[in-house]
Structure 1
Amino acid sequence: MTLPRTKKPSGSHKAKSTVIIYSAYNAAPAGLTDDTETEDLWYAALRSDPRIGGLELPVIGGQLHPHGLARLSNLLDPGWSNTISAMSLTLAATKTDQGYGLASEDPAGRQRALSDIASARTETLRLQERLGPTSVRAFALQSAPRADRSSMSAFTDSLSQIARWDWGTIELLVEHSDALVPGQTPQKGYLTVEGEVEAVQSATDSGGPRIRHLVNWGRSAIEGRSAGTPLEHIEKLGDGLGAFAFSGAAPVATDRSTEWEDVHLGLAADEPGSLLDSDGACRLVAALPNGLSYLGIKTGAPTGSRGTERLQLGLSMLDILC
C-alpha cells in the first residue's frame, strides 16, 4: 500500500490541557458493537459522566468501529478529546505472526506493522475530520514483538518514518508494556523503557514533531513485580512522559486473574489482591510531571457484572483521581 505523505517539521508539539481518558472498551460486554440498544446505553452512561474527558479507542481489524465512523461519531460526546491505541491491533497480529511489529527484526513483519499503522492513521484522521480538530489528541504505538525478536534499530527506523507522516495536531506516544525480563514469564515482553527512550531520541530531532511516552501503572508493576516500578519509570522518563494510565495488578490470583496477569484490575478496595490502592494512586498523581496530555484509567469488569455495571471499577478510579 502507499504510505502517508510526509510533512515539513513544524516545531515542538504544542502542550494540551490534561484530561481524563477512560479505556472503557476493556470493560465492554462481548458483542457490544452488534447490539445497537446495549451499545447506545453504554455510551450514554459514559457521556453522562462529566469527569470523563474522552475515551481511548482501539484499532481492531483496521477500524475504529466495525460499523463505520458514522456510527462511532454518533456515539461519542462531541466535546470529548479522545485517544487512539494500536495495542489491540498489535496483539491480534502477533498472536499468529511472530515477526509482526514496529520493532521487528523481520523486515517484512515490520513493513506489515507500518502499513497497518498507516491505515489506522487514515482512519483516525477521518474521525477527526468528522468531529473536529480537538476530537483526537494522541495516538499510541507499541514496541512489539517480544524483545528477543526485536531490535532497537528497527524500532528507531519505524518511529522515524511514522513521525514524518502528517498527523496534524495529534501527538504520538510510545506505550510501554512490561519488558522482557530474564527468568520471568512476560505478559508482552516488549522493549525496556530505556530502550524505548533511546529509540525515540534517535528517531526524532529538535526541529521535528515530538514523540513522548505513555506508562500504565499495572504493566509497570507487572514488569518489576513491585508497586514501586511505576514511579521508577516516571522518574526515568522525566518530561518525556506524555501520559499516564491507571490499572491495577496483583502478585496473587484474584477472582479474574492469575498472579501478575495483565487484565486491568481495579483498586484494591474493589478487587482484593490488587496492589493499587487509593492512597498510592493519589501519591503517584502528585509525583507526575506537569504538561501531561492526559491521565488514563483502564479497567476490566467485575466478575458477574452486566451492562453498565461493568463500568464500576473505572468509576471508582474516577472517584479517586477527581
Structure 2
Amino acid sequence: MTSIIYSAYNAAPIGLTEDTAAEDLWYKALRAEERIDGLELPLLQGGLHPQGLDRLGVLLDPDWSNTISAMPLTLISAISDPHYGLASADHAGRQRALEDVASAREETRRLQEQLGPLSVRAFALQSAPRAERSSPEAFTDSLQQIAGWDWGNIELLVEHSDALIPGQAPQKGYLALNDEMAAVQSAVDLKARRIRHLLNWGRSAIEGRSSTTPGAHIDTLGPALGAFTFSGAAPTATSRSTAWEDVHLSLATDDPASLLTADALRAVVAKVPDGLSFLGIKVGAPASSRGVDRLQLGLSMLAAVTDVIGSTRA
C-alpha cells in the first residue's frame, strides 16, 4: 500500500513546541494512529524543531519515514524579504534561500544519523518568490546546485503551488508548472539525480479555480509525479477561509464548501501513477478546537484516503 504522510503541523495549536506536556500528548496521539507512515516536518527559522533534534527525535515514531518541506521557512522569510527564494531573479535573495536549504540538508542528515537512514524519505522545494520576482533560469540553476549535493537516499521533490495567473489574486503565485518541469528536467540532465514533483489537490484547484485542475496537473506531469497531497479548497467563504484561500480544508463531508469530495478523492487515487513516494494528508483545524481535537478533520481525511487506497488498489 502507498505510504501515507501526515502534515500534522498545519493543525497544531499555537505555542505547541513551547508546552512540553501538550506536545507529548500531540505526538502520542499521532504515534497511536497506525495508518500514518510518517509526518511532514516543517522547516522553520529555528530548524526542524525549536528545541533541537534531540527533542524531535524523542517525539517521532522510530518506524516512521518522514518528509521535510521548506515551505514554512519560505513563507516566513518572504514576509520581510520579498526576493527570498530558489527561483528569485535577485541573486542575493536566491543565495539566502540556497544557504538555508544547505543548512537544512545538514540537519536532515543528522536526523537520519539519530533515527536511521529510512527516517527521512523526501525533501520538498518550492519555486518562490512570486513569479514577477522569479525566473525559470534562476530556479534551474538552484536545482542544479542542490542536486549536486549529497542527499543520500533522500528524494528531492519540487512542490507546486498555485501559479501566478494574470487577473487573478494568487495565494502563492509561484512559477507555472511547465516552468518547474523544465527546470527539473535541466537539473536532472546535468546532475543525473532524480527529482520529481509534488502536487497538492487544493493548491491546484486554487490555481485553476476548478476541481478539474488537480487531474489536469496529474496528466501534465505523468511519470514525473513523485507524490500527491490531499487538501481541500472552496470557491466560497467558509467559517475559516475566504474564497479560494489556501487554509487546507478537509473533505466536503466535513467542510461542506470544499470541492474535495469523496468522488474527487477516488478519481485522484485511480489516476496517479504507480511508484509514488507517498500520498499526503494536509488539513488545518477550526479556530475553536483545542489540543489533540485539532487533529479530528485530518484524521477523518486520513481514514477516507486509506479506505479508497484499499478498495482501489487491492
Name 2:45's counterpart in structure 1. 61
The Cα offsets for residues 150-185 of structure 1, whole Å up to 9 and x where unpaired, read as: 011100000000000000000000000000000000
RCO higher in structure (CA 8 A, sep ≥6): 1
Deviation at 1:303, TM superposition (A): 3.7
Is 1:130 the counterpart of 2:114 in the alignment?
Answer: yes
Partner-residue secondary structure (3-state), 1:205:
helix
The residue that corresponds to 1:6 in the other structure is: none
Aligned residues: 306
Distance 2:285 2:152 in 1: 35
> How does 1:1-322 map onto structure 2 within 5 Å?
18-205=2-189, 208-322=192-306
Secondary structure in 1 aligned to 2:214?
helix
Do the aligned residues in 2 keep the contact of 1:62 with 1:120 (CA within 8 Å)? no
Do the aligned partners of residues 62 and 209 (structure 1) sit closer, same or farther apart at CA in structure 2, a change above 3 Å counting?
farther
Query: Which whole-Å CA distance do the structure 2 matches of 1:289 and 1:314 have between them?
Result: 24
Which whole-Å CA distance do the structure 2 matches of 1:151 and 1:193 have between them?
A: 13
Query: Does structure 2 conserve the Cα–Cα contact (< 8 Å) formed by 1:62 and 1:116?
Result: no
For residue 302 of structure 1, report the CA deviation from its aligned partner: 2.5
Q: TM-score, normalised by structure 1?
A: 0.94
RMSD: 1.0
**Higher helix fraction (1 or 2):** 2
Q: Distance in 2 between matches of 1:125 and 1:37?
A: 28
Between the aligned partners of 1:247 and 1:192, the Cα distance in structure 2 is: 20
Name the CA shift for 1:206/1:108 in 2 (closer, same or farther; >3 Å). closer
* SS class of match (1:134): helix
Cα deviation for residue 206 of structure 1 reads: 7.7
| Misfit runs of 4+, over 2 Å | none
User: How far did residue 207 of structure 1 move?
Assistant: 6.6
Q: Is the 2:65–2:119 contact (alpha carbons within 8 Å) kept by the matching residues of 1?
A: yes
- Offset, 1:318: 1.1
- SS of the equivalent of 2:296 reads helix
Gaps of 5+ in 2: 307-314
Check the 8 A contact 2:165/2:173 in 1, yes or no: yes
Query: Which residue in 2 is equivalent to 1:14?
Result: none
Aligned partners of 2:190 and 2:89: how far apart in 1? Answer: 27
Q: Deviations over 1:44-100 (max 9, x none)?
A: 000001100000000111410000100000000000000000000000111111111
Going from structure 1 to structure 2, the CA distance change for 1:206 and 1:94 (only over 3 Å counts) comes to: closer
Partner Cα distance (1:283, 1:234) in 2: 11
Aligned mates of 1:68, 1:259 — CA distance in 2 = 37
Structure 1 distance, partners of 2:190, 2:47, is 33
State the AA in 1 paired with 2:4: I
8 A Cα contact 1:62 1:119, kept in partner: no
After the TM superposition, which of the residue ranges 22-31 and 93-102 deviates more from structure 2? 93-102
Give the whole-Å Cα distance in 1 for the aligned partners of 2:156 and 2:246.
Answer: 23
User: Which whole-Å CA distance do the structure 1 matches of 2:51 and 2:263 have between them?
Assistant: 41
Opposite residue 115 of structure 1, the aligned amino acid is E
